[in-house]
Structure 1
Amino acid sequence: MSKPIGYYTNFTPGEETLLATLQDNYGAAFEKISKREKLVILTVLASHIGCQLEGDCRAEIFTIAKQMIEQLTIDDLTGMMEAIIVQIRWGQNFVVEKEELPMQQ
């Protein structure tokens, strides 16, 4: 079972914020939002945050993502998303500089 949004954010019940409105409209665990809609929100948020970060993205990362899409099940893809989100939030931040070479094969 999912935890309420307050577990993941600075939301405190009783506050009049966007998070309170979202919880009122869509449930404490976003149970009134479909899986497809949650993925759309995740895509938009990830894109926005990615544009705010410094550094570049190595070309091989797009290849890796394509391979994941082609070879992993939906359950494994969802698990990869969860693992990546945990690393984004709590892991170290490796910054790729322009002069770094692509992965050697």
Structure 2
Amino acid sequence: MSKPLGYYTSYTPGDDSFLERVQQEYGSTFEKMTKPEKLSILMILSSNIGAQLDGGVRGEIYTVAREMTNQLSLSDQAGIMEAIISQVRWGQNADAELVHHA
């Protein structure tokens, strides 16, 4: 995350919000978090969003994901994560359901 938190969210400096407290504690680019901590947050947030959406997951997707972890470099795995986050946030998915409140 090279841009500050407000670029990606509804956070506005000085708004006394939860996001302001997070930024004060961990930095505007989460620079005070380790990679494992950031990935844990990503995992928890994606699970939460996924649980709130309608529809299931085809079994083959779990197979593809396992193959990705076995066959792709860590850099390519992170690239896949970045692509999926962008597609989910901006509606570039098969069901066209948007998840965006920012």
- Fold conserved between structures, TM > 0.5: yes
Structure 1 runs of 4+ aligned residues shifted over 4 Å read none
2:58 maps to what in 1? 58
Shift of 1:94: 2.2
TM-score, reference length from structure 1: 0.87
Give 1:87-98 correspondences, 5 Å limit.
Answer: 87-95=87-95
1:23 maps to what in 2? 23
Shift of 1:92: 3.1
2:13 maps to what in 1? 13
TM-score, reference length from structure 2: 0.89
Give the length in aligned residue pairs: 95
1:79 maps to what in 2? 79
Structure 2 stretches lacking a partner, 5+ long: 96-102
The Cα RMSD (Å) is 1.1
Task: Considering Cα pairs closer than 8 Å and 6+ residues apart, tell me whether 1 or 2 has the greater RCO.
Answer: 1
Sequence identity percentage? 55
What amino acid sits opposite 1:70 in the alignment?
N
Deviations 1:1-30 (A, max 9, x none): 710000000000011111000000000000
Shift of 1:58: 0.3
Q: Which has the larger radius of gyration?
A: 1
